[in-house]
Amino acid sequence: MLVRTQILIFGLIGNIIIAGILLYMNVQNQNIQTKSANSQYTSIVESAWVQSIDNSFSNLNSWGTSGEKGQQYWNPYSEIPLFIDIGFEGFDYANPLIEALDQEIESDLFIMIDEMFLDEVDLGNISFIKIYNENNTELTCLYAFDWADVGNSIDVCDANNKINFLRDDSVSAFLGKIKNRLSVTNEVIFAQEPDGNTNLHQIVGFPVYMSNEFGVSTGQLLGSVIIGRDLRQSMTIFESDLGVRTGIVSNNQIIDAVYSDELSLDESIGITNYSFNHIKTDILENGLTNLDSKNFEALGLSLTSVPVASTVNPNTALFFVIKNVADDLKELRDSTLNSIIFTFAVIILIVLAIWWIQDGAFSRIAKAIEVLEALTKGDTTKQIPQNKGFLSSETNEVGQLSNALGRYRNHLLEMDEVRKDRAERRKQRDEVIIKKMSGLAGKLEGDAKSLITKDITNMKKLVSETSDENAEEASVEMMEIAFSRMSDEVNALIDLKTKEMATARDEAREASSAKSRFFANMSHELRTPLNAIIGYSEMLLEDCEDLGNDDMIPDLKRITNSSKHLLSLINNVLDLSKIEAGKMDMYFTPFSIDTMIETIKDVSGPLATKNNNEFIIKNNVKGEMTSDETKLRQCIVNFLSNAFKFTENGQVALVIDQKEIEGKEYINFDIKDTGIGMTEEQLGKLFDTYTQAERSTSAKYGGTGLGLSISKHFAEMMGGGVEVSSEVGKGSTFSIFVPKQSEEENVDEETDIENPELKEGDEYILLVDDDKATHDVVKRAIRKEGHTVYSAFDGDEGVDQARKFKPKLILLDVLMPGRDGWSVLKEIKNDKNLKDVPVVITSVLNEESLASSLGADDYMKKPIDRTFFLNIVKRYITEKDQKVLVVDDDENTRDLLTKILNNEGYMSIDAKNGEDALERVKEKPDLIVLDLDMPRMDGFEFIERSRTEGMKIPIVVFSGKDITAVEEKMLSKYTEGIVKKESKVESLVKEVNQILKTK
């Protein structure tokens, strides 16, 4: 299928889809408008009907004892001219109606009531009147018999017909309720015949009490009056005013208006008896929903339902209105049809426009293809098609194609000229080679001369016999002959030199191997006894404390501290030895400069506050660089540490810029301080190993003099360097610059570590560490516990292995060349399949003080020293009845601290995390003992919240951490535990077993 046809089809399909979406949106919009209109009409109908009902009740209420119309008729001292005209006069009372009610003269009552309500009955405002004595016995009843044979008319005066009150059980209950009311009572009742025919009436009821000459009630009840109006009369008026048909549905019956049959003959409202009866049938079959409106499109009518009255439950009866909406529905259908016609007309126009544009464009493309085929066959006489016609342009695709073909044709013509030039130069080159070979033959003797002479003859033959098409191959063949002869002459010398170089290479490899074994043995032999010394000294220290051997404790502490310091020195010496022996590898990977600076800021921040220094960072370089991020960061942190150490109450600034050296881009890091500065003599020996500026500096500030030397070596190994300038009393500036894009030399090292064969579902421990010795030691220890260990020597290998076979536990080194453990840890925890795998960090980072940087009042380190703990408590609490809050997620630790405090007479409360602690603080403790690493809210956040909220309670921080505060805060969100490499192997085994047992 042609591309133009495909585009046309896709365009047509796309436009049809768009048209469908637009039509769907149009229909939805019309539906929304229809629903909105129906809702508005429902509100209008409800409001009009409520107003009609209220007007009817208002007229009925006016006939009450206090009403405008009825007040004089129910006053015993009022003379009623109407009654006098028909021959009724009072004897005991001036009002014969009250006298007849009091004496219960039923015939007189009926005549007077008939005359009294004659006009209201004729107008249809009242349909019946009932009068009862004080005992609720009916005395008389008047019904508008004009309605007796119309619709659902029911004679409420007929004893066979029932009156049902919606709120009362009977007429007596209703009359008993209204006797104590001063005003009239409004209600809607049902009138029902024995055959089930039902009708609804509005009624008002009120009691008639005897009153004195001043119009004050004497409390004597004469009787009660109920006046009603047939709701059908209100419906008839409603239909006449709004030009609609109405009805009431109740008990599965339809109650029509009084004169609805006559109204159906009025063609102006557009509702026939057939349509009306059809909708009534639908109502009886499907029911009605309160406050709802729907359309019968086939009939052109709408049906709207509202409550009969506020006192009538919609489930009992609903008032409905049928309206002619044929014109509105027709207008809606016409609008939809017009939208469809317009949409498809637009689609046809768009498709025709696409076809017209494509026909013009693709016809020119077809001509361009013909020219391209001719050019590929070497025919440069074919004319390039011109880009002409409507919408043609040199910048559109067809114009660019024509221009490209023109350039290609010119290029072919240029290539023909180049080939001719190359052929001429080739001929000259061959003549020079033959001449040189002839000169070489004249200097040789014997077989060598014969061979060279024979080759010259063959070369001349090749030059004379080859055509232009084979000239290049002949020239190459001739050069092969010439150079093969010359190569034979030097092969003997090459073989000799190769043997000598192989011997030297083997000797160098042996020396390198011996040096590697030496470093490995030194590392193992020095660290192993030191680990034993540290472990046993700590054990003896605990035993002495338990046994009370106080004399031994200071010496054991000195042994422990000195051993740890010695281990740190040995690590530096071995690193320096690796550098000097060329065994320190570099791992160059791309990384974000901003991210590295943020990490440096977090790590070095606490150092700045130690000597009250201001730490300033100014980064003028954005984006990424490629280098060994770990070693570069180590160098910068080392320079910053020196700056913070030799500066007090000053400023230390880290400035990052980009510069060019010999055409190559470098990233420059300046570390500037306002410290003590250095002399020229001190600068001269600054980077000498094991040397500081002067002996007094070492005595005052400490240090071994290895840090700067190692940093300088690292910078040079990364392809850069280190520069320093200083002035005594004003400060120093250290500059380290490395290439923005470093090139890595890959060195493959063989390893003797063998990994087990794994399959899906196997449980194993993944060890990620760049140190081979660590793998060997850890594997031996953990295998004794029955666990399988798989080794990975860098971060990427570890992540790939974890995703291939999910481990049960991961042991991760923090400091690794190239990609360090922090980035590996974040990737693992962001992986939805690996985030639940426990991670134990193995670290060689030095301890940093956490308490002061966090704003805590004191600091302790786990395991807890009982005496040290109690001394700190006593420092902040001087009275035994004061309260201490212990915050730790470990229940055993909380119990231990609680027992220690209780034994000393202190009150203690506890909390399992920061959130609980914030609640327990309301109990007003006098001291808080706080762990840092807890779920939900850790110690760091708790301290921050407490200081923000203005708490003045002393806080003692205790923790088992042995890394910097900022790094520990990052690590605590992800890891299950921390084990130092300086710790005994048994500590690692214990940690592993503890984590795996809880899985």
Q: What is the pLDDT of residue 321?
A: 93
Q: Is the pLDDT of residue 246 over 80?
A: yes
Q: Where residue 861 falls among pLDDT bands split at 50, 70, 90?
A: very low
Cα 36 to Cα 23, 41, 50, 95, 367: the distances in Å are 20, 9, 21, 58, 61
Task: Give tens-digit pLDDT for 582-627.
Answer: 667 777 888 999 988 988 888 788 778 888 999 999 999 988 999 9
| CA–CA gap between residue 964 and residue 602 (Å, rounded) | 9
- List, for residues 273-287, the tens digit of each pLDDT value: 888 888 989 998 898
Contacts 24+ apart (CB under 8 A), 403-411: 405/368, 405/371, 405/372, 405/375, 408/372, 408/375, 409/375, 409/380, 409/384
Q: Provide the 8-state DSSP code for 331.
A: H
3-state helix, strand, coil in the chain (%, to 5): 50, 20, 30
- Check: pTM over 0.85? Answer yes or no: no
Starting from the edge strand earliest in sequence, which strands make up the sheet with 317-324, in order?
253-256, 245-250, 317-324, 301-307, 292-296
Share of the chain above pLDDT 70, in %: 73
Give the C-alpha distances (Å, rounded to integers) separating 760 from 763, 805, 831, 837, 839.
9, 6, 19, 16, 20
Q: Which amino acid is at 100?
A: A
Report the pLDDT value the prediction gives residue 63, as an integer from 0 to 100. 93
pLDDT > 70? residue 322: yes
Distance, first Cα to last Cα, the chain: 62
The bridge status of strand 185-192 relative to strand 162-165 is antiparallel
What is the DSSP-derived secondary structure letter of residue 786?
T
* pLDDT tens readout for residues 326-369: 888 788 778 878 888 888 888 888 888 777 777 666 666 777 77
Token code pair at residue 269: 């409202």
Place of tokens 């088992």: 960
Strands 664-673, 651-661: pairing kind: antiparallel
Dihedral sign (CA 282, 285, 289, 290): positive
Angle between helix axes 397-443 and 446-465 (nearest 10 degrees) is 150
Mean pLDDT of 435-449: 71
In Å, what is the CA distance from 486 to each residue of 271, 338, 447, 803, 917?
A: 118, 93, 14, 58, 90
pLDDT in tens, 101-133: 989 999 999 999 999 998 888 888 899 999 999
Write phi, then psi, for 895 (nearest 5 degrees): -65, -40
**Is pLDDT at 893 greater than 80 in this prediction?**
no
Confidence of residue 750 (pLDDT cuts 50, 70, 90): very low
Instruction: List helix spans (H) across 548-626.
Output: 552-580, 593-610
Q: Residue 657: pLDDT band by 50, 70, 90 thresholds?
A: very high
Query: Quick one: which H or E segment has residue 357?
Result: helix 326-376
Cβ neighbours of 653 (radius 10 Å): 18
Least confident of 60-69, 671-680, 856-865: 856-865
Instruction: Of 808, 866, 862, 868, give the one whose Cα is nearest residue 840.
Output: 808
Of all helices (H) and strands (E), which one includes residue 222? strand 217-230
Distance CA 355, CA 1 (A): 15
Predicted confidence at residue 307, as pLDDT, reads 92
Distances (CA, A) of 365 to 519, 698, 877: 72, 82, 93
